[in-house]
Structure 1
Amino acid sequence: MTKRSATDPSSDPSLNTKTPRRSEKRDVPSLDDIGEFEDAWEDELESDEDVVDADAPDGMDIDEVLPAVEESEEQPLLEAFIPGTHTLAKDEILEPDDSVYIMRHSMDVTWSCLSFDILRDSLGDERQRYPATAYVVAGTQAARSDQNELSVFKISSLHRTQRDGDDDDDNDDDDDGDALDEDAVLEFRSVPHNSGVNRVRTQPLSPSVPLVPVSQPYYTATWAESGKVHIWDIRPLIESLDVPGYAWEKSRTNRPTFTVNSHGRTEGFAMDWAASAATNPSALRLLTGDIHSKIYLTTSTSSGFNALAQPFTSHTSSVEDIQWSPSEPTVFASCSADHSIQIWDVRSKGRKSVTGIDPAHESDVNVISWNKSTHYLLISGGDDGAIKVWDLRNVSKPGSPRQVPSPVAAFTWHHGPITSIEWHPTEDSVFAASGADDQVTLWDLGVEQDDEEVGSLMNETQERGREVPPQLLFVHQGQRDVKEIHWHPQIPGAVISTALDGFNIFKTISV
Structure 2
Amino acid sequence: MSKRPAEASSSTQTIDGQPFAKAGPNASKREIEGSNEMGEFEDAWEDEVEEDEDVVDNAEKDEDGMDIDEVIPAVEDREEPTPAPKPYIPGLHTLGQDEELEADESVYHMRHTMRVNWPCLSFDVLKDNLGDERRRFPATVSIVAGTQAADMNKNEVVVYKMSSLHKTQRDGDNSDSDGEDDDDDDALDEDPIIEFRSIKHFGGVNRIRAQPLPPSTGLPPVSQPYFVASWAETGKVHIWDVRPLMESMEVPGYTYDKAHASTPAFTVNSHGRAEGFAMDWAASGPSSLRLLTGDIHSKIYLTTSTPTGFNALSQPFTSHTSSVEDIQWSPSEPTVFSSCSADRTVQIWDVRSKGRKSVAAIDPAHESDVNVISWNRLSSYLLLSGGDEGGIKVWDLRNIKKSGCWHPFSWHQAPITSVEWHPTEDSIFAASGADNQVTLWDLAVEQDADEAGMDDTPEGGKDIPSQLLFQHLGQKDVKEIHWHPQIPGTVISTASDGFNVFKTFNV
Taking structure 1 as the reference length, what is the TM-score of the superposition? 0.83
Residue 16 of structure 1 is matched in structure 2 by none
Per-residue Cα deviation, 1:284-335 (whole angstroms, up to 9, x for no partner): 0000000000000000000100000000000000000000000000000000
Counterparts in 2 of 1:190 and 1:404: CA distance versus 1, 3 Å: farther
Q: How does 1:60-209 map to 2 (within 5 A)?
A: 77-165=84-172, 175-177=183-185, 179-209=187-217
Q: 1: CA distance between counterparts of 2:190 and 2:21?
A: 19
Q: Are 1:444 and 2:442 an aligned pair? A: yes
**Residues 19 and 113 of structure 2 are in contact (CA less than 8 Å); yes or no, is this contact kept in structure 1?**
no
Per-residue Cα deviation, 1:437-462 (whole angstroms, up to 9, x for no partner): 00000000000223321322xx1306
Residue 409 of structure 1 is matched in structure 2 by 407
Q: For 1:490, give the aligned amino acid.
A: Q
Q: How does 1:103-502 map to 2 (within 5 A)?
A: 103-165=110-172, 175-177=183-185, 179-276=187-284, 280-395=285-400, 403=401, 405-456=403-454, 459-461=455-457, 463-502=459-498
**Residues 134 and 156 of structure 1 are in contact (CA less than 8 Å); yes or no, is this contact kept in structure 2?**
yes
Counterparts in 2 of 1:62 and 1:127: CA distance versus 1, 3 Å: closer
Q: 2: CA distance between counterparts of 1:34 and 1:254?
A: 15
Q: How does 1:32-51 map to 2 (within 5 A)?
A: 32=2, 48-49=11-12
Instruction: Report the alpha carbon displacement of residue 235 of structure 1 after superposing the two structures with TM.
Output: 0.4
Instruction: Report the alpha carbon displacement of residue 61 of structure 1 after superposing the two structures with TM.
Output: 13
**Residues 295 and 323 of structure 2 are in contact (CA less than 8 Å); yes or no, is this contact kept in structure 1?**
yes
Counterparts in 2 of 1:61 and 1:434: CA distance versus 1, 3 Å: closer
**Residues 325 and 370 of structure 2 are in contact (CA less than 8 Å); yes or no, is this contact kept in structure 1?**
yes
Instruction: Report the alpha carbon displacement of residue 78 of structure 1 after superposing the two structures with TM.
Output: 1.5
Q: 2: CA distance between counterparts of 1:98 and 1:446?
A: 26
Instruction: Give unmatched runs, 5+ long, in structure 1.
Output: 1-30, 36-46, 53-59, 396-402
Q: For 1:410, give the aligned amino acid.
A: P
Q: For 2:230, give the aligned amino acid.
A: T
Q: For 1:488, give the aligned amino acid.
A: H
Q: Partner of 2:287: helix, strand, or coil?
A: coil
Instruction: Give unmatched runs, 5+ long, in structure 2.
Output: 25-31, 37-78
Q: Report how many residues are paired.
A: 447
Taking structure 2 as the reference length, what is the TM-score of the superposition? 0.84
Q: For 1:470, give the aligned amino acid.
A: S
Q: 2: CA distance between counterparts of 1:466 and 1:84?
A: 9
Counterparts in 2 of 1:50 and 1:366: CA distance versus 1, 3 Å: closer
Instruction: Report the alpha carbon displacement of residue 164 of structure 1 after superposing the two structures with TM.
Output: 4.7
**Residues 14 and 194 of structure 2 are in contact (CA less than 8 Å); yes or no, is this contact kept in structure 1?**
no
Residue 5 of structure 1 is matched in structure 2 by none
Q: For 2:110, give the aligned amino acid.
A: M
Q: 2: CA distance between counterparts of 1:497 and 1:182?
A: 23
* Identical-residue share of aligned pairs (%): 67
Q: For 2:409, give the aligned amino acid.
A: F
Q: 1: CA distance between counterparts of 2:472 and 2:144?
A: 23
Per-residue Cα deviation, 1:376-405 (whole angstroms, up to 9, x for no partner): 00000000100000000013xxxxxxx474
Q: Partner of 1:293: helix, strand, or coil?
A: coil
Q: For 2:11, give the aligned amino acid.
A: D
CA RMSD of aligned residues (A): 2.6
**Residues 33 and 108 of structure 1 are in contact (CA less than 8 Å); yes or no, is this contact kept in structure 2?**
no
Q: 2: CA distance between counterparts of 1:258 and 1:49?
A: 30
Per-residue Cα deviation, 1:457-496 (whole angstroms, up to 9, x for no partner): xx13063421100000000000000000000001000000
Q: Partner of 2:453: helix, strand, or coil?
A: helix
Counterparts in 2 of 1:67 and 1:498: CA distance versus 1, 3 Å: closer
**Residues 18 and 113 of structure 2 are in contact (CA less than 8 Å); yes or no, is this contact kept in structure 1?**
no
